[in-house]
């Protein structure tokens, strides 16, 4: 049997990690992998997470299974964080998943179960795992325009034109905030127009929110998501705790399914539990329990929000520094988009050969589509990157 297997294409980001590690240069810079790093290049454990882990260690009495959909307390805490009071709680079914990726996978499984002929609409570009999962499940897929490589901003006119072609029952995948890989976000008026298009076409939104708190703050980052959820009859939301809680390896995520009427919530909840059972049975609980403790304990939550705000402001400062240094070097404001983008990522909008030149000549590693992880920089390396960008002619 195993002799019939064929080699699968390598993950480009993980491949880049291997290349970076093999590079002997001392001044190399890793801007590829999507994890937050502090000024020392480390991905720290957040203070509130450490404190919650200590409490859990002292009080936990069992490692027995949790429920198929995870703990209801985790559902409630995450629904409050992402949706606030924008949707009636009795319309929301939820299931814990292995990270945000697990939530996306379960969402696609749900779509396939409910309507296998649904076309999934993805932004061009999007996170590579989105199309990978969709193709693996054999679901139809189309792209809508999103990023303008010339202006490095959202091509909203093109987006609106393309989404108008969606059909009733189709799924439109939207990034809740801090668009990956571009960093270019929709404005609230644009969110409102997207909602009008979805209402007109009958398509259902699936929102991937993996960076709440990394952009403009916890509440502002969720504003578009809450608008969609409150004004659409149905909505799917995949949320990740990897970035904003720093629990990457704990694989903590959640899928929410919002029904038009509360009458259907029980069926939706049972279906989410069923899908969990088929794919991995019980979801991991350690990270979910830590997140629940933090969100429901006033002191832990206050400390977590304070540290998360430090992380956000650090990335924003790096963005502004990079844009300013490039303006000083080029005498042009054409890199001003870096200060306008939000979250960990921005896309420079340059060619693969210039990305290659950055790597070969300067030891700067970023994904071939020119996505760079702002959080991979520090105050000193910003200057190195700015000079390298000018040197290779981006």
Residue 9 to residue 178: CA distance in whole angstroms: 27
Is residue 8's pLDDT more than 90? no
Is residue 211's pLDDT more than 90? yes
Residue 146 to residue 175: CA distance in whole angstroms: 11
Q: What is the pLDDT of residues 92-135, one digit of tens each?
A: 999 999 999 999 999 999 999 999 999 999 999 999 999 999 99
Q: What is the pLDDT of residues 163-187, one digit of tens each?
A: 999 999 999 999 999 999 999 999 9
Residues 6+ away with beta carbon under 8 Å from 172: 121, 144, 163, 166, 194, 198, 203, 204, 205, 206
Give the angle subtended at the CA of 236 by the CAs of 287 and 199, to the nearest 5°: 155
Q: Are 112 and 139 in contact (CB under 8 A)?
A: yes
Residue 271 to residue 111: CA distance in whole angstroms: 11
Q: Per-residue confidence at 34, pLDDT binned at 50, 70, 90? A: confident
Residue 127 annotated to the active site? yes
| Active-site choice (93, 96, 103, 210) | 210
Q: Per-residue confidence at 306, pLDDT binned at 50, 70, 90? A: very high
| Residue 15 confidence (pLDDT) | 86
Residue 213 to residue 225: CA distance in whole angstroms: 13
Mean pLDDT of 242-264: 97
Q: Per-residue confidence at 12, pLDDT binned at 50, 70, 90? A: confident
Is residue 40's pLDDT more than 90? no
| Active-site choice (30, 96, 121, 127) | 127
Which one, of 276, 221, 219, lies nearest residue 93 by Cα? Answer: 276
Calculate the alpha carbon distances from 45 to 112, 242, 345 in Å: 37, 11, 21
Q: What is the pLDDT of residues 219-251, one digit of tens each?
A: 999 999 999 999 999 999 999 999 999 999 999
The residues that bridge with 209 in the sheet, in sequence order, are 239
Domains by residue range for the chain, with CATH = 11-45+312-391 (3.90.1150.10), 65-296 (3.40.640.10)
| Active-site choice (94, 103, 107, 243) | 243
Q: Which structure tokens are listed for 316?
A: 């924003």
Query: What average pLDDT does the structure give for the chain?
Result: 96
Residue 290 to residue 393: CA distance in whole angstroms: 46
Mean pLDDT of 268-287: 97
Q: Are 222 and 239 in contact (CB under 8 A)?
A: no
Residue 339 to residue 311: CA distance in whole angstroms: 16
Q: To which H or E segment does residue 76 belong?
A: helix 72-83
Residue 304 annotated to the active site? no
The residues that bridge with 98 in the sheet, in sequence order, are 252
Give the angle subtended at the CA of 103 by the CAs of 101 and 376, to the nearest 5°: 35
Which one, of 148, 220, 152, 218, lies nearest residue 191 by Cα? Answer: 220
Mean pLDDT of 361-371: 93
| Active-site choice (208, 221, 285, 369) | 208
Question: What's the burial of 301, exposed, middle or buried (CB within 10 Å: 0-12/13-18/19+)?
Answer: middle
Phi, psi of 191 (to 5 degrees): -60, -45
Residue 208 annotated to the active site? yes
Mean pLDDT of 347-375: 93
Q: Which structure tokens are listed for 344?
A: 């960990």
Is residue 338's pLDDT more than 90? yes
């Amino acid at each position: 049997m195993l002799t019939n297997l064929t080699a699968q294409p390598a993950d480009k980001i993980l491949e880049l990690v291997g290349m970076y590690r093999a590079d002997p240069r001392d001044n190399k810079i890793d801007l590829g992998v999507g994890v937050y790093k502090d000024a020392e290049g480390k991905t720290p454990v957040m203070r509130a997470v450490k404190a919650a882990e200590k409490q859990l260690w002292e009080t936990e009495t069992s490692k027995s299974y949790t429920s198929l959909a995870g703990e209801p307390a985790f559902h409630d805490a995450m629904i409050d964080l992402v949706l606030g009071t924008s949707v009636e709680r009795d319309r929301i079914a939820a299931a814990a998943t292995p990270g945000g990726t697990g939530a996306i996978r379960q969402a696609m499984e749900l779509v396939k179960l409910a309507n296998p002929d649904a076309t999934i609409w993805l932004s061009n570009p999007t996170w590579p795992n989105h199309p990978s999962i969709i193709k693996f499940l054999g679901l139809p897929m189309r792209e809508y325009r999103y990023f303008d490589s010339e202006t490095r901003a959202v091509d909203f006119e093109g987006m609106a034109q393309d989404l108008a072609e969606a059909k009733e029952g189709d799924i439109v995948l939207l990034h809740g905030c801090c668009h990956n890989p571009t960093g270019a976000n929709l404005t609230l008026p644009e969110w409102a127009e997207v909602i009008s298009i979805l209402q007109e076409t009958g398509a259902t939104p699936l929102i991937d929110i993996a960076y709440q708190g990394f952009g403009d703050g916890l509440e502002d980052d969720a504003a578009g998501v809450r608008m969609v959820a409150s004004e659409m009859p149905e909505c799917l939301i995949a949320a990740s705790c990897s970035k904003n809680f720093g629990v990457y390896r704990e694989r903590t995520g959640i899928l929410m399914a919002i029904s038009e009427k509360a009458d259907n919530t029980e069926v939706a909840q049972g279906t989410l539990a069923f899908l969990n059972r088929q794919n991995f049975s019980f979801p991991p609980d350690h990270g979910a329990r830590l997140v629940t403790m933090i969100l429901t304990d006033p002191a832990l939550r206050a400390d977590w929000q304070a540290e998360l705000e430090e992380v956000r402001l650090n990335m924003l400062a790096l963005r502004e520094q990079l844009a300013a240094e490039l303006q000083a070097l080029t005498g042009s404001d054409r890199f001003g988009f870096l200060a306008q983008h939000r979250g960990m990522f921005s896309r420079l909008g340059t060619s693969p050969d210039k990305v290659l030149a950055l790597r070969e000549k300067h030891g700067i590693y970023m994904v071939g589509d020119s996505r760079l992880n702002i959080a991979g920089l520090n105050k000193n390396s910003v200057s190195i990157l700015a000079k390298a960008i000018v040197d290779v002619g981006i």
